[in-house]
Structure 1
Amino acid sequence: MTDEPGWEVDPDDDWGVAVVATVGRQLKLRREAVGMRAAEFGEAVGYGEDLVYKIEGGKRIPQPGYLDRADEVLGADGLLSAMKVDVARVRYPKKVRDLAKLEAQAVEIGVYVGLSIHGLLQTPEHARALFEARQPPYSEEEVERLVSARMARKSVFERSPAPPLSFVQEEAALWRRVGGTMVRRRQLEHLLEVAQLRNVTFQVMPTDTSAHPGVDGKIEVLKFADGTAVGRSDGAYNGRPTSDPKELRILELRYGIIRAQALTPGESLAFIEQVLGET
């Protein structure tokens, strides 16, 4: 039997707590309706009794396979499996869901990043190595949850029509030995693949360049179909997101200057290939 059928529920995520509690209650009602004890049900679906109680009590987020197996065992005719849609919306941390929602709606995204490779550009192995380096350390379960959430955001690359995506990446992050040689090589190869997509503009900011408006930290600007936009910068407005037109113009000005100082897309591809060759 497996001991990890889901993830812990974030107590600060009110909506997530409500959804998981409702799903757990429905599972319990179905189990009791067929006269099956928790231990018997757990054995039938391949999970321990304690985990069954946690899911039914809304303390654990069930994975899709758990709901499918429960539906089959309890003869729910697809009603329990259908709850996978609601569970999928809360299985990732709230702040990640909010960010993913904005990225999914944006018709244009521009990002400058310095200390690390942007989340939309990371491989699963690279992301896992970064999360495993955090202090105080995450549990293995939380690491897997965060990696899955970060990878889910990459669905932005699969949209049609594909939105224009612009990235300016500091050179230093490309040299950082995250996750060992093979993880690093795969990350660089992935950057080369993404950078050659027609809707992606990828530029490297050389370390030996002069000071630029991004030295205070990351800058992000997301534009939407209705003409609105949201921007954020570590070095402006206390790092909070802003949709104020005046503040957005300042962030766009800074991002424009950064792009002008960075290597061209062609030079950037050549630079990544050089780093890859020395890895």
Structure 2
Amino acid sequence: MPGPKDLDPSSSPRAMLGAELRHARERAGLSQEELGQRLFVSGSFVGQLEAATRRMTPEIARLLDEVLDTDGFFLRNCKVAAKSKYPGHFAEAAEAEAAALELRQYSPMLIPGLLQTPAYARAVFRAYRPTAAEEAIDALVVARMERAHILDGPTSPLLWAVIDEAALRRVTGGKEVMAEALRHIATLVRQNGAIVQVLPFDAGAHASMEGSIKLMDFEDAPPLVYYEGVGTGRLEDDPATVRHVRRNYEFLTASALSPENSLVLLDAMAQDYAHEEHL
């Protein structure tokens, strides 16, 4: 029986690799749980590989080739599927984000990436990398703006963002950049491109004071939580962990301003920044 063909780098490698994995698993007569046991991972992780919401590592690919007798196919092609324009610690999360049906995010210190303008993103990247070449910053900005296109189409995910007032008060790139950034968010909200709530300072102590939250829900794979730090990040699919983080997010939405009042605040702050810029 002929083996699977190597993947075409110009196609959608992650999706094709997932489809080939499902085909090879079913041909071997294994369930996701049974294959997971042989790989020392959960069945849900196998499902995420098949749904292309998780990245296949070389070690997992090597084990798949051994268990499924695929003659090195997965190890050869996981390198193609792993290519990304995003930093290594964020690449898997960005790809999962693009496949999600719903995204819920709390951002304590900066405007979420999917809601950023080019000028705001440039200021953030320049702060992260003060000695980087301009071309490197340009490439990061382009990649971030391309990410935001997932909100453009009719099948775009639901994005529900809670933004801390601290992120909106921190002048990033100057007051003109902040005015544009807040007007951009307000426009997206009015166009029904996102649900945005602001968590005001006077909300006091809240359920996520120790850091950000990012929850992703999918049509055919278990939900994920993304944990991010400085130059690092990881995806987590443990059901108890996901439930805990989701509950904290729900507490945040209860403490935040309503979407309507949040929009009023965004408009007012944008006007204030624009006015101050011209004083």
TM-score, structure 1 as length reference: 0.63
Contact conserved, 2:122 with 2:141, CA < 8 A, in 1? yes
For residue 174 of structure 1, what is the amino acid of its counterpart? L
* Correspondence 1:138 to 2:138: no
Distance in 2 between residues matched to 1:97 and 1:167, nearest whole Å: 21
Deviation of 1:270 after TM superposition, in Å, equals 0.4
Structure 1 residue aligned with 2:248: 254
Q: Deviations over 1:4-55 (max 9, x none)?
A: xxxxxxxxxxxxxxx8xxxxxxxxxxxxxxxxxxxxxxxxxxxxxxxxxxxx
Distance in 1 between residues matched to 2:122 and 2:149, nearest whole Å: 18
Identity across aligned pairs (percent)?
34
* Correspondence 1:198 to 2:186: no
Quickly say closer, same or farther: Cα 1:96–1:244, change in 2 above 3 A.
closer
Structure 2 residue aligned with 1:70: none
Quickly say closer, same or farther: Cα 1:91–1:113, change in 2 above 3 A.
closer
Contact conserved, 2:163 with 2:198, CA < 8 A, in 1? yes
Structure with higher Rg: it is 1
For residue 157 of structure 2, what is the amino acid of its counterpart? P
Structure 2 residue aligned with 1:8: none
Q: 2:237 aligns with which of 232, 243, 254?
A: 243
Q: Kindly indicate whether structure 1 or structure 2 has the higher relative contact order, using CA contacts under 8 Å at least 6 residues apart.
A: 2
Deviation of 1:227 after TM superposition, in Å, equals 4.5
Structure 1, unaligned runs of 5 or more: 1-18, 20-85
Structure 1 residue aligned with 2:123: 129
Distance in 1 between residues matched to 2:113 and 2:241, nearest whole Å: 24
Contact conserved, 1:92 with 1:145, CA < 8 A, in 2? no
Matched position secondary structure for 1:115: coil
Q: Residues 62-211 of structure 1: matches in 2 within 5 Å?
A: 90-135=84-129, 137-211=131-205
TM-score, structure 2 as length reference: 0.63
Contact conserved, 1:216 with 1:234, CA < 8 A, in 2? no
Matched position secondary structure for 1:133: helix
Distance in 1 between residues matched to 2:125 and 2:249, nearest whole Å: 28
Q: Deviations over 1:171-218 (max 9, x none)?
A: 111122211222121111101011223252100000121211111110
Q: Please give the root-mean-square deviation of Cα atoms over the aligned residues, in Å.
A: 2.4
Q: Residues 27-38 of structure 1: matches in 2 within 5 Å?
A: none
Contact conserved, 2:93 with 2:226, CA < 8 A, in 1? no
